């Protein structure tokens, strides 16, 4: 997957705090973070990404297979020709479309030095917001920026925030939140900095779409969860094996099934409970037909069982 080819380097919480302080930043928290520790409202809700569904047929037939496999929802990570078909499929199957993944955040990054590219990227974000509303979802997943040889870290930080702020009035009008995913994009390399980036918007319309597996190569998911706290709106579920990454290359680290890698799921779930998280947990792994979807669902059930322990 293109989101996985970037090589990230870890930054410790102490180092990130010192860096922010040296630039005159003071760590802040969203209002909810300063209140008493919230309590879990219920169990995690299982979902899959639409692109994982390898069942042939109509969207309704795909949704029916997802529902039969034991999932409650789906995250639309691909454009479809007939959006009304998505709505009708959700109604007929009872499967909830809980959100949309921004369609073009990799090809049209909001950190691009080209103003025209950023404008197209903003238009794609706005399209995703409209689609999420139309489908009955409540979030859009966004990779906020990309840092590379031609895009400096500081420029990516400033440009992405400026473009995202332009989308906030529409997000408010539609009632859709924009959640930032942690990926291998050389950006927001520590949970301290990620929290600060979110808080600078001073808006309840932005937060974190926390990907558990993406963090394992350079950190520990439970640490990030406890730092991000109530900023986490939804989570992605996948695995990562450090030994495979070390011996076969970074991308190979994702080549393990849920529950068979280096994610410490009891610790992850404990951290989620501590910060009061409840809601959508979406698988983002290699998909397939009905049998494969059922297997993934069962693996998620197994790790989520620790929620009750």
Residue 227 tokens, joined: 């730092």
- Residue-number span of the structural domain to which 90 is assigned: 42-308
Task: Report pLDDT for 306.
Answer: 79
Residue 153 tokens, joined: 């870290």
Q: CA–CA separation, 192 vs 16, rounded Å?
A: 6
Cβ pair 275, 225 in contact under 8 A: yes
- Structural domain includes residue 100: yes
Q: CA–CA separation, 102 vs 99, rounded Å?
A: 10
Q: Can you give 10-24 as a three-state secondary structure string?
A: CCCHHHHHHHHHHCC
Q: For the chain, which residues score pLDDT lower than 70? A: 1-42, 308-309
DSSP state of 216: T
115 Cβ neighbours under 8 A, 6+ residues apart:
none
- Structural domain includes residue 25: no
- Structural domain includes residue 247: yes
| Residue 179 half-sphere exposure toward CB, CA atoms < 13 A | 28
pTM: 0.87
Residue 79 tokens, joined: 């454009």
Q: CA–CA separation, 15 vs 45, rounded Å?
A: 35
Residue 188 tokens, joined: 């927001």
- Structural domain includes residue 93: yes
- Structural domain includes residue 211: yes
- Structural domain includes residue 81: yes
Q: CA–CA separation, 257 vs 285, rounded Å?
A: 8
Task: Report pLDDT for 228.
Answer: 98
The CATH number covering residue 124 comes to 3.20.20.150
94 Cβ neighbours under 8 A, 6+ residues apart:
67
Nearest CA-CA partner of 45 in 275, 257, 304, 287 = 304
Count of domains observed in the chain: 1
The sign of the CA dihedral 237, 71, 227, 264 is negative
What is Dmax (Cα atoms) for the chain?
A: 56
């Amino acid at each position: 997957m293109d989101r996985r080819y970037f090589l990230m380097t870890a930054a410790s919480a102490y180092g990130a705090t010192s860096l922010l302080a040296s630039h005159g930043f003071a760590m802040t928290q969203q209002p909810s973070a300063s209140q008493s520790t919230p309590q879990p409202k219920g169990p995690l809700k299982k979902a899959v990404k639409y692109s994982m569904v390898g069942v042939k047929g109509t969207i309704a037939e795909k949704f029916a297979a997802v529902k039969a496999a034991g999932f409650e929802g789906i995250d639309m990570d691909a454009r479809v020709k007939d959006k009304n078909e998505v709505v009708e499929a959700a109604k007929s199957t009872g499967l909830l479309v809980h959100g949309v993944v921004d369609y073009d955040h990799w090809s049209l990054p909001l950190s691009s030095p080209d103003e025209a590219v950023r404008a197209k990227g903003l238009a794609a974000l706005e399209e995703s917001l409209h689609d999420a509303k139309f489908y009955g979802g409540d979030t859009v997943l966004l990779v906020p920026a990309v840092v590379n040889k031609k895009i400096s870290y500081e420029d990516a930080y400033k440009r992405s925030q400026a473009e995202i702020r332009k989308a906030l009035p529409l997000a408010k009008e539609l009632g859709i939140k924009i959640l930032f995913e942690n990926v291998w994009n050389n950006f927001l390399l520590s949970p301290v900095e990620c929290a600060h980036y979110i808080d600078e918007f001073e808006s309840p319309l932005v937060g974190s779409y926390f990907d558990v597996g993406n963090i394992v190569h350079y950190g520990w998911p439970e640490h990030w969860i406890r730092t991000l706290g109530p900023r986490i709106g939804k989570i992605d579920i996948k695995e990562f094996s450090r030994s495979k990454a070390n011996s076969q290359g970074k991308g190979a680290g994702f080549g393990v099934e849920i529950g068979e890698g280096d994610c410490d799921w009891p610790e992850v779930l404990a951290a989620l409970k501590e910060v009061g998280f409840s809601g959508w947990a979406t698988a983002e792994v290699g998909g397939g037909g009905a049998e494969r979807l059922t297997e993934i669902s069962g693996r998620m059930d197994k790790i989520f069982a620790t929620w009750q322990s």
